[in-house]
Amino acid sequence: MDLRPFDKAMMTDIPNYNDYLKAYAASGTAYTAVHDGRMVCSFGVNLLWPKVGEAWMLTSHHVDGVPMSLTKGALRFFNHCATTMPLKRLQITVDARNKVAVQWANLLKFKQEGVLEKYGPSGSDYFMYARIY
CATH number assigned to the domain comprising residue 34: 3.40.630.30
At 60-71, the pLDDT tens digits run 999 999 999 999
Range of the domain at 73: 5-132
pLDDT tens readout for residues 19-48: 988 888 788 788 999 999 999 999 999 999
**pLDDT reported for residue 13:** 92
Which of the 8 DSSP states describes residue 36?
T
Number of domains in the chain: 1
| The predicted structure's pLDDT at residue 91 | 98
Angle at alpha carbon of residue 109, lines to 129 and 1, rounded to 5°: 75
